[in-house]
Amino acid sequence: MDKKVIEKKSLSKVIQRRLKESNKTNYGRILLICGSRSFGGAAIMATKAAVYSGAGLVTLASDSANRTALLSTVPEAMFIDYSNKEKLLSAIEKSNVILIGSGLEDSDFSLALLKNVFNNIQQKQILIIDGTALSMIGKYHLSIPKNPTTVLTPHQGEWQRISGLSISEQNPAQNYKKMSALQNDFLVLKSSATEIYSITNTKEYGQLNIGGPYQATGGMGDTLAGLISGFMGQFHDNNLLTIQAAVYLHSYIANLLSQNNYVTLPTKIADQIPLIMKTFIQNEFD
Amino acid sequence: MDKKVIEKKSLSKVIQRRLKESNKTNYGRILLICGSRSFGGAAIMATKAAVYSGAGLVTLASDSANRTALLSTVPEAMFIDYSNKEKLLSAIEKSNVILIGSGLEDSDFSLALLKNVFNNIQQKQILIIDGTALSMIGKYHLSIPKNPTTVLTPHQGEWQRISGLSISEQNPAQNYKKMSALQNDFLVLKSSATEIYSITNTKEYGQLNIGGPYQATGGMGDTLAGLISGFMGQFHDNNLLTIQAAVYLHSYIANLLSQNNYVTLPTKIADQIPLIMKTFIQNEFD
Amino acid sequence: MDKKVIEKKSLSKVIQRRLKESNKTNYGRILLICGSRSFGGAAIMATKAAVYSGAGLVTLASDSANRTALLSTVPEAMFIDYSNKEKLLSAIEKSNVILIGSGLEDSDFSLALLKNVFNNIQQKQILIIDGTALSMIGKYHLSIPKNPTTVLTPHQGEWQRISGLSISEQNPAQNYKKMSALQNDFLVLKSSATEIYSITNTKEYGQLNIGGPYQATGGMGDTLAGLISGFMGQFHDNNLLTIQAAVYLHSYIANLLSQNNYVTLPTKIADQIPLIMKTFIQNEFD
Amino acid sequence: MDKKVIEKKSLSKVIQRRLKESNKTNYGRILLICGSRSFGGAAIMATKAAVYSGAGLVTLASDSANRTALLSTVPEAMFIDYSNKEKLLSAIEKSNVILIGSGLEDSDFSLALLKNVFNNIQQKQILIIDGTALSMIGKYHLSIPKNPTTVLTPHQGEWQRISGLSISEQNPAQNYKKMSALQNDFLVLKSSATEIYSITNTKEYGQLNIGGPYQATGGMGDTLAGLISGFMGQFHDNNLLTIQAAVYLHSYIANLLSQNNYVTLPTKIADQIPLIMKTFIQNEFD
């Protein structure tokens, strides 16, 4: 098994100069099904990261209690109440990328939501599963849908709950074995040395060697999940490379901020996304 | 048919030194009838652009669910619940410029709202029609009112729905023919090379040669619509030139931001409006 | 009648070095009775100006619909629902300075509110009357209470409604005559050349020669009213000088911002208050 | 009795380089039981300070009316409605540090809340009692729980209400005597020369010689309480030193801001926390 260090140049490869003749529909329709009454901030942070990454159209489906805070913070995003089944189904159908799980509560409602998404997602769509949705897959023995491209973004404890592998058992070979059993395409296994796995090449995996404990604060993972969803809505050449670039960028910005900050708050990372992305392409219209 | 490139100097011509002896009522009473439960951010972004352009008095009429987010973001604006018919009628009557459509939902309520505005607007008023209101005009075969000065701000798909012209059929001669049939005064046809038409001179049209795909993100059009409304509330010498200046300024700021940003978020464009407008006039009180 | 130009040095005279042995209760308990469902922003802008001026304890009494936007913007302030009579009475009793009127609606409720304040205000308190409360005094023939120190902050149209003087009749002699009839202590008559009157010296009045039409935008007066209330809560040596200093500071900051901004938004003026106040005292603890 | 000046170097001693192999659960689970309908801002300011200090997981339990403003301001924090007894108990159980009192109202509900916390807090937990909770301890003759480590953060008036000592009677010997009677571990007695007491060493106490009257404004104490809670969630070597460092940092930032600001607003102090904390450690990953 080869360990490949995820490189900074993945960012230059992935972040594209946009075509002059393009419009917002070319840059993804992202649907985030995130947040709850207790964890509303997770939804807001994920949505902010998606919008700030340049995604074309971003919709948050959440508890209606999170609507005003989202609009106050990220008016660029649209909002639907995820208890409105008709609107939710319509949004699922129209989206290219769906992120589910950041800031959900473990509840009957969330379980129905998860099943609804799993039953209605289609082949060409990308499904990113984060946070509570991951724990619920383990707890309720849900099957990850086969049709869409799936990305799981667990930390080690969440991966244990899905895979049954204790943290000490979580090695690349075992991880690939479980991914295969789960029919999962991509795994972002978060830790102080985050690893990225792609089922299409089980002979290697990527490891992040940037980032640090200044990122150890609530909301960091929600922001990462939103950033991955924004990248996958825009950059389609190579999904693995796109995921690697998003993960790298997230920690790269944190690392930059950590030069001057003891803790690198998730919302401050999101603020920097458009600026730092720009540094990875040459001036477009010079 | 002459194509005239919209020039930067339109901004110096339009943005006036304000008269010392003036007050906020000299700079327009703008009413924005925008936003809905799903698309509240559109209303907020349009309102922010109108306020930041210097409009004297700006009122957002929207779903009451958007009230708090507006006040948190742009306390300079006033708010009315657009389901309050009496207040809405009174606001329509008192306004110089009315923008309708950004972020409305296609619904019976919106249709009634649109008819209400079309029936009550008066001769000296300016009516800007954006977003969903444009699609609804096509879908429900509504007639654009004849009395006010009308500005339509469709992107190519919306123009297709109103005019019946497919995107490939949308050429200047056809566009003017449809404007004439619709009795529409000004058309801002948004694309990667936005065009501006004035029914008073059907021998030429303007084209924007600034801006770029960094603007391809949700909310860009809402911000433009708000900026046009703010400009038309303040600058009355030449409506065509005023519209051209607003459209130019919007992309000019985006272009400036794009030097350092991969994507130029609408709210960040609005933040720059007072600063960049200032650069187009000499110091007032030197 | 002597016209005295209000001078920049009024600021150095008024803005005091704070005593080392002091606490927030030394810097005023300000109660703002402002805002309504339509004009919530006015309340927020006035409160922000009071807090940013350094007032010790600031409470906004307003429609409950304005609560969340206030907390999102100025968490330093406290909030009470002004329909809660008991809490409002208690707040009136405890305050040193009461500002009423910015952003109120002309309604039966507001009229009751105004009467409630006028009936319960006490001798040592300062009462600042702004915005709609001024128009309502004229419309409903209310008497300004005699006991507290009263400051009226009308623009010329509002002064006409109270005083019965048309704008062309508003000259210093007539203004003093009306103030005397109204038993009003201080008048800030806002215009492009704002005038300040004190009933204790009817042989002269002050005039502002700073500021400009970049201030002609919604919310400017609300911010001024809040700033005056914050100053009067802190600086007690000479009420006239304190009012002059607040009025001067408001336009002085606007003037500074106008070097780089076409329009000087009220919330941006408030942001600068702590910074610009500091420039008028020498370093406290050098 | 020895008076020891609290020194700047306490900050370098307390603020630790984080271990590379760590995650957010290593940096504290902080529960703030703060705020009410009238004093929502206190809860938001305390929460912001805790989050910005680097605490791993921060939850605000408050009146549901404060939810949206919190999420708009500090989406990194989680929220529970403190009238939900089950959720509150569960949160109390899971937390390392509990702060109660900033911005509570004196009410039956708050009294029940206080008793609930006092009855359910456990031995290894840290309990910080601030604001109204302090006054209520005095008024209702509540006993401070013995099991947890307790920190009281009264100003002199609040200390009088708990201890029965008039402000002139509040000297170190008396303060220790009362702490002993109350079975209180740490006392932060706020004034223009804040003192810090630790029951483990009653022969000395610390005094702050930094800070100034620019801090005399509403919300300053709430921010301090939040900052202490964030520090105690992260830094465990020496509780006294940790408290001293938090108190020093709060006034140190205020002092820095006061170079350019007449008043140092609490929310502006919180903004600086990550930046100024960083200056007290050497670069972690050089």
Residues C263, B52: C-beta atoms closer than 8 Å: yes
- For D54, which of A259, A263, A266 is closest by C-beta distance? A263
Nearest CA in chain B to C47: B75
d(CA A282, nearest CA chain B) in Å: 10
Asked whether the beta carbons of A34 and A87 are under 8 A apart, the reply is: no
What is the per-residue pLDDT across C22-49, written as a single tens digit (0 to 9) for each? Answer: 999 999 999 999 999 999 999 999 999 9
Asked whether the beta carbons of D132 and D110 are under 8 A apart, the reply is: yes
- Quick one: average pLDDT of A7-28? 94
Q: How confident is the model at residue A268 (pLDDT cuts 50, 70, 90)?
A: very high
- Quick one: average pLDDT of A201-215? 97
C190 is in an annotated binding site: yes
pTM, full prediction:
0.97
Mutate: best of D52, D78, D81, partner A, most A CBs <10 A: D78
d(CA A45, nearest CA chain D) in Å: 7
Mutate: best of A224, A263, A269, A271, partner D, most D CBs <10 A: A263
Asked whether the beta carbons of A223 and A17 are under 8 A apart, the reply is: no
Asked whether the beta carbons of B10 and B245 are under 8 A apart, the reply is: yes
d(CA B16, nearest CA chain A) in Å: 30
A12 is in an annotated binding site: no
Residues C40, B277: C-beta atoms closer than 8 Å: no
Structure letter (DSSP) for residue C190: B
Query: What DSSP string describes A146-177?
Result: SSSEEEE--BHHHHHHHH---GGG--HHHHHH
The structure tokens listed for C116 are 């409630």
* pLDDT given at position C283: 47
Q: Is C278 on the interface with D (CB under 8 A)?
A: yes
Mutate: best of D16, D72, D79, D283, partner A, most A CBs <10 A: D72
Q: How confident is the model at residue C282 (pLDDT cuts 50, 70, 90)?
A: low
The ipTM (two decimal places) reads: 0.96
Sign of CA dihedral C210, C212, C215, C221: positive
Residues D218, C77: C-beta atoms closer than 8 Å: yes
* pLDDT given at position C286: 39
Q: How confident is the model at residue B146 (pLDDT cuts 50, 70, 90)?
A: very high
What rounded mean pLDDT belongs to chain C? 96
Centre a 10 Å sphere on the Cβ of residue A43 and count the other Cβ atoms it contains: 32
Residue B284 has pLDDT above 60, yes or no: no
Higher-scoring residue by pLDDT: A247, B286: A247
Q: Is A40 on the interface with D (CB under 8 A)?
A: yes
D2-5/D204-207 β-pairing = parallel
Q: Is C15 on the interface with D (CB under 8 A)?
A: yes
d(CA C263, CA B268) in angstroms, rounded, equals: 17
Q: Is A282 on the interface with B (CB under 8 A)?
A: no
C226 is in an annotated binding site: no
Nearest CA in chain C to B78: C39
- For C20, which of D44, D69, D212 is closest by C-beta distance? D212
Q: How confident is the model at residue A56 (pLDDT cuts 50, 70, 90)?
A: very high
Residue that the structure tokens 């009475």 belong to? C89
Nearest CA in chain D to C74: D41
Q: Is B275 on the interface with C (CB under 8 A)?
A: yes
Q: How confident is the model at residue A286 (pLDDT cuts 50, 70, 90)?
A: very low
- Rounded to the nearest 10 degrees, the angle between the axes of helix B108-120 and helix B132-139 is 90
What is the per-residue pLDDT across D177-227, written as a single tens digit (0 to 9) for each? Answer: 999 999 999 999 999 999 999 999 999 999 999 999 999 999 999 999 999
Residue B191 vs residues A77, B6, C175, D137: alpha-carbon distances, Å: 21, 14, 58, 66
d(CA D236, CA D85) in angstroms, rounded, equals: 29
A168 is in an annotated binding site: no
| Half-sphere exposure (Cβ direction) of B241: Cα atoms closer than 13 Å | 14
Mutate: best of C78, C227, C283, partner D, most D CBs <10 A: C78
* pLDDT given at position B282: 61
Query: Residues 42..71 of C with a Cβ closer than 8 Å to D: which?
Result: 51-58, 67-68, 71
Structure letter (DSSP) for residue B97: E
Asked whether the beta carbons of D131 and D102 are under 8 A apart, the reply is: yes
- Residues D173-192, buried b or exposed e (16+ Cβ, 10 A)? eebbebbeebebbbbbbbbb
Which residues, in sequence order, are CB contacts of D6 under 8 Å at separation 6+? D196, D206, D207, D208, D209, D244, D247, D248
Q: Is B41 on the interface with A (CB under 8 A)?
A: yes
Q: Is C90 on the interface with D (CB under 8 A)?
A: no
Residues B68, A68: C-beta atoms closer than 8 Å: yes
Residues B68, C73: C-beta atoms closer than 8 Å: no
Residues D27, A267: C-beta atoms closer than 8 Å: no
Using CB atoms within 10 A of its CB, is residue D262 exposed (0-12), middle (13-18) or buried (19+)? buried
d(CA C210, CA C202) in angstroms, rounded, equals: 23
Mutate: best of D14, D17, D20, D23, partner A, most A CBs <10 A: D23
The C-alpha angle A100, A101, A102, rounded to 5 degrees, equals: 115
Comparing CA positions, the residue from B231, B230, B271, B278 lying closest to residue B254 is B271
What rounded mean pLDDT belongs to chain B? 96
Q: Is D139 on the interface with A (CB under 8 A)?
A: no
d(CA C57, CA A23) in angstroms, rounded, equals: 50
Residue B264 vs residues A55, A138, A161, B273: alpha-carbon distances, Å: 11, 40, 40, 13
Sign of CA dihedral B92, A67, A266, D249: positive
Residues A73, D78: C-beta atoms closer than 8 Å: no
Residues A262, D285: C-beta atoms closer than 8 Å: no
Query: Number of B:C CB contacts under 8 A?
Result: 115
Residue that the structure tokens 């820095």 belong to? D256
* pLDDT given at position A1: 86
Q: Is D9 on the interface with C (CB under 8 A)?
A: no
Residue C285 has pLDDT above 60, yes or no: no
What is the per-residue pLDDT across A81-104, written as a single tens digit (0 to 9) for each? Answer: 999 999 999 999 999 999 999 999
- Quick one: average pLDDT of D63-71? 98
What rounded mean pLDDT belongs to chain D? 96
d(CA C26, CA C23) in angstroms, rounded, equals: 6
Give all strands (DSSP E) within B34-141, no chain letters: 57-62, 78-81, 97-100, 126-129
A48 is in an annotated binding site: no
Query: What DSSP string describes C96-142?
Result: SEEEE-TT--SSHHHHHHHHHHHHH--TT-EEEE-THHHHHHHHTTP
Residue that the structure tokens 């022969």 belong to? D203
- Quick one: average pLDDT of A127-131? 98
Mutate: best of C30, C44, C63, C76, partner D, most D CBs <10 A: C76
Residue D163 has pLDDT above 60, yes or no: yes
Asked whether the beta carbons of D15 and D277 are under 8 A apart, the reply is: yes
* pLDDT given at position A282: 61
- Residues of chain B positioned with their CB less than 8 A from the CB of A284: 212-214, 258
| A21: three-class secondary structure by DSSP | coil
Residues B220, A79: C-beta atoms closer than 8 Å: no
Q: Is B262 on the interface with A (CB under 8 A)?
A: yes
Phi, psi of A247, rounded to the nearest 5 degrees: -65, -40
Asked whether the beta carbons of A38 and A11 are under 8 A apart, the reply is: no
What is the per-residue pLDDT across B224-275, written as a single tens digit (0 to 9) for each? Answer: 999 999 999 999 999 999 999 999 999 999 999 999 999 999 999 999 999 9
A56 is in an annotated binding site: no
Domains of chain C, by residue range, sit at: 2-279
Alpha-carbon dihedral angle through residues D78, D79, D84, D86, given to the nearest 10 degrees: 10
Sign of CA dihedral D169, D174, D175, D178: negative
Q: Is A275 on the interface with D (CB under 8 A)?
A: no
Q: Please report, for chain A, how many H helices and E strands are present, in that order.
A: 11, 10
Asked whether the beta carbons of A272 and A258 are under 8 A apart, the reply is: no
d(CA D182, CA D179) in angstroms, rounded, equals: 5
What is the per-residue pLDDT across C101-144, written as a single tens digit (0 to 9) for each? Answer: 999 999 999 999 999 999 999 999 999 999 999 999 999 999 99
- Residues of chain C positioned with their CB less than 8 A from the CB of B275: 260-262
B168 is in an annotated binding site: no
- Residues of chain D positioned with their CB less than 8 A from the CB of C57: 218
B226 is in an annotated binding site: no
Nearest CA in chain D to A269: D76
Q: Is A134 on the interface with B (CB under 8 A)?
A: no
Q: Is D143 on the interface with A (CB under 8 A)?
A: no
The structure tokens listed for B160 are 């297709």
Class of domain C2-279: alpha beta
Residues D265, C24: C-beta atoms closer than 8 Å: no
d(CA A129, nearest CA chain B) in Å: 24
Phi, psi of B2, rounded to the nearest 5 degrees: -90, 130
D97-100/D29-33 β-pairing = parallel
Which residues, in sequence order, are CB contacts of A265 under 8 Å at separation 6+? A217, A219, D51, D52, D76, D274
d(CA B177, CA B163) in angstroms, rounded, equals: 10
| Half-sphere exposure (Cβ direction) of D13: Cα atoms closer than 13 Å | 17
Residues D24, A217: C-beta atoms closer than 8 Å: yes
Residue D282 has pLDDT above 80, yes or no: no
